[in-house]
Amino acid sequence: MNCTKCKTKAVIGLPRHNAAFCKSCFNGFVHDQVARAIKSEKMFGREDRILVAVSGGKDSLALWDILLKLGYRADALYVNLGIGTYSVQSHSKVTKFAEAVATSHGATLHLQTVEQEAGAGIKELAQLIHRPTCSTCGTIKRYQFNRVAIKQQYDVMATGHNLDDEAARLLGNVLHWQEEYLDKQGPSLPASVEGFAKKVKPLYRLSERELAAYAVLNRIDYIVEECPMAKGSKVLLYKEVLNRLETESPGTKQMFYWGFLEKQSTKQPTATTMTEKDRAVLHPCTSCSQPTTAEVCSYCKMMARAKTVATR
């Protein structure tokens, strides 16, 4: 198989684009897809300060690498979740990448530890408050990333969600007809109220396989092992189903998610926009001042409950 662009030996075939690329042309393709996502969704500009949420996985490290190579001002935040050897390894991968690549671009890595912030790791917290680990993890990560982005005055927060993540999430929402979540499935969410950072997903045009290939080809050392808490997750099942469809019918994932985005953008504007809706229901948490629909935000409620149970 030869590269579609330069005709040398290809290292990856991309059936959904009816193309194959050598390393150099593949890097060009990946950078171009991210640049197109940033421009078309008006994610950020050259002067904006970006905070990338990194986990030690392929997507977030690839995102940080790509943004730095495209010349953006991108720092990163890693939240150590306290999941045994998995967190030890992922922490090590992130710090190694920061030392080897990011520092030379003048970028900074911020570190947070759930155990220091909350007094226990994710697993222990979830057990204390009788909530699923992944849901506890999501609440804590979203809260901590937003807090750091606001406190350190970043213009925008970027996450490594890729095409597979978004297509799987959309499938889950459609299967359960959770229409109220569809508005928030876009790759660029505005800072609708004070205290919420703008959130963007610059990798939504790239598949999980393409990002893994980018990491391997560019010698980005990422954590391949699965998160021990994610076993049996529904999202994994949706991804598996979508990948079977994609193999039989290349382009299925992008048609599903990008088609959804197109429909959303051409939809008749409703009486109230997402920003207006947010402004109507969100106000500062009485405990920490971050935006919430309740009197006390879910993070503060969770921490209060964990403290009560722990002191019994």
| Residues found near other proteins in the complex (CB under 8 A) | 1, 10-13, 20, 57-59, 164-165, 207-209, 211-213, 216-217, 224-227, 230-233, 235-237, 239-240, 243-244, 246-247
Q: What's the closest the beta carbon of residue 162 comes to other proteins, in angstroms?
A: 9
Instruction: Please tell me the distance from the alpha carbon of residue 238 to that of residue 253, in angstroms, as a whole number.
Output: 11
Radius of gyration of the chain (CA): 20
Task: Quote the tokens at residue 106.
Answer: 């003048």
**Residue nearer to other proteins on the CB measure, 23 or 91:** 23
Q: What's the closest the beta carbon of residue 120 comes to other proteins, in angstroms?
A: 23
Q: What's the closest the beta carbon of residue 101 comes to other proteins, in angstroms?
A: 19
Nearest to 223 by CA among 54, 44, 47: 54
DSSP string, 225-255: SPPTT-TT-HHHHHHHHHHHHHHHSTTHHHH
Rounded to the nearest 10 degrees, how much is the dihedral formed by the CA atoms of 49, 30, 89, 121?
A: 50
**Residue nearer to other proteins on the CB measure, 232 or 269:** 232
DSSP string, 110-125: EEEEHHHHHSS-HHHH
Question: Is residue 84 packed enough to be buried (19+ CB in 10 Å), middle (13-18) or exposed (0-12)?
Answer: exposed
Q: What's the closest the beta carbon of residue 247 comes to other proteins, in angstroms?
A: 5
**Residue nearer to other proteins on the CB measure, 6 or 230:** 230
Task: Quote the tokens at residue 243.
Answer: 């990948």
**Residue nearer to other proteins on the CB measure, 72 or 222:** 222
**Residue nearer to other proteins on the CB measure, 231 or 312:** 231
Q: What's the closest the beta carbon of residue 55 comes to other proteins, in angstroms?
A: 9
**Residue nearer to other proteins on the CB measure, 13 or 84:** 13
CA 253 to chain centre: 18
**Residue nearer to other proteins on the CB measure, 236 or 304:** 236
Q: What's the closest the beta carbon of residue 273 comes to other proteins, in angstroms?
A: 32
Q: What's the closest the beta carbon of residue 223 comes to other proteins, in angstroms?
A: 10
Instruction: Please tell me the distance from the alpha carbon of residue 181 to that of residue 162, in angstroms, as a whole number.
Output: 18
**Residue nearer to other proteins on the CB measure, 205 or 239:** 239
Q: What's the closest the beta carbon of residue 62 comes to other proteins, in angstroms?
A: 12
**Residue nearer to other proteins on the CB measure, 215 or 303:** 215
How far, in Å, are 184, 279, 297 from residue 272 at the CA level? 14, 10, 24
Instruction: Please tell me the distance from the alpha carbon of residue 220 to that of residue 213, in angstroms, as a whole number.
Output: 10
Instruction: Please tell me the distance from the alpha carbon of residue 252 to that of residue 237, in angstroms, as a whole number.
Output: 16
- CB neighbours of 72 closer than 8 A, spacing ≥ 6? 44, 46, 48, 50
Q: What's the closest the beta carbon of residue 152 comes to other proteins, in angstroms?
A: 27
